[in-house]
A = this chain, B = another copy of it.
Amino acid sequence: MQEYFIGIDGGGTSCRAAVADAEGRILGRGRSGASNILTDPDTALRHIEEAARLAFRDAGLAEDLSAASALLGVAGNNVGDAVSYVLARLPFARAEIVSDGLIALQGALGDADGAIAIVGTGTIFIVRHQGRIHYLGGWGFQVGDLGGGARLGHAALQESLLAHDGIRPGSALTKRILDEFGHDPKMVVDFARAARPGDFGRHAPTVVAFAAEGDPTALRLMRDAASQVDEALDAAARIDGGTGRLCLLGGLAEVYSAYLADRHRDRLAPPLADALTGAVELAVKTLRTGAP
């Protein structure tokens, strides 16, 4: 009997699945809604199953999930209780949950050593060196994620208040942001008090756009953020000697490729494949009967 392997890339806005044969050839794909196992595990379970069924249907296969093996990459997977809850309720024969970073790494690098920097709302750096995985950063907005879109948007709000008070020179960027808040600092404060990382992050594209126009404040914020990413990439290079493939992933990847230090830009390479492909590869490698 043919053995099927499902890779799943579960995120806060959508859940993507792909089904492959034992050689890792992708036969079909499916997509459903949000699958945040931490904040809403039951909805996540429903969407994981739905995406998997759609992938089987897309492949022209009977939707027999109970005979398949699945590997899920999910955001914030280091939340033990949520992982246990979801693992116990998945409709597959065998299943494993790993971090979304790990499937992204596998997709980008295949089985080779190297490093990825995921620069989106947050930031995390992952190195594979002689088969071992090293994580750097990724501790979230409040005390980490330096260089991420949320921190960048937050910095822009802070600069706007400093410009409002005449403490630092304003620019077209700070004027634009103050315009959005009716030039009332209290509105900025109220926004910030209730804002989640994604809310701060929605101001990052404004910084990126003004920096591209040469706005001095936006350029300073971009360079500060890029130098924080440079520092993390330096630390990654200390682990693996800076020899392997280096891939930038995430919503700010293209932006940062222009701001990073030359020593890192010279190493940049496009990812071999996406995270979903990485999930499929890991599913076949780790869940195949008799796999090590």
A residues engaging B (CB < 8 A)?
A: 78, 135-137, 139-140, 142-144, 146, 154, 157-158, 161-162, 165-168, 185-186, 188-189, 192-193, 231-232, 234-235, 238-239
Contact = CB atoms under 8 A, between A and B. Distances in A.
A164 to B, nearest CB: 9
A193 B142 contact: yes
Contact of A161 (B139, B154, B157, B238): B139
Given A78-B186, A188-B139, A144 B161 contact: yes
B192 A136 contact: no
Given A137-B167, A142-B193, 10 more contacts: A136-B166, A139-B161, A139-B188, A140-B189, A143-B157, A143-B161, A162-B231, A166-B238, A167-B231, A167-B232
16 contacts: A135-B165, A136-B165, A136-B166, A139-B161, A139-B188, A142-B189, A142-B193, A143-B157, A143-B161, A143-B188, A143-B189, A165-B235, A166-B235, A166-B239, A167-B232, A167-B234
- State the majority secondary structure of interface residues on A: helix
A73 to B, nearest CB: 20
Contacts of A167: 136-137, 231-232, 234-235
B192 A143 contact: yes
The 8 closest A-B pairs by CB, nearest first: A142-B192, A143-B192, A136-B165, A167-B235, A166-B235, A143-B158, A143-B157, A167-B232
Contacts of A232: 165, 167
A165 B124 CA distance: 11
Nearest to A233: B167
A3 to B, nearest CB: 36
A190 B186 CA distance: 28
A154 B143 contact: yes
Contacts of A161: 139, 143-144
A144 B166 contact: no
A118 to B, nearest CB: 15
B136 A185 contact: no
B185 A139 contact: yes
A165 B137 contact: yes
A275 to B, nearest CB: 22
A184 to B, nearest CB: 11
Contacts of A186: 78
Nearest to A160: B143
A130 B165 CA distance: 19
Given A136-B167, A165-B136, A165-B137, A144 B231 contact: no
A137 B186 CA distance: 11
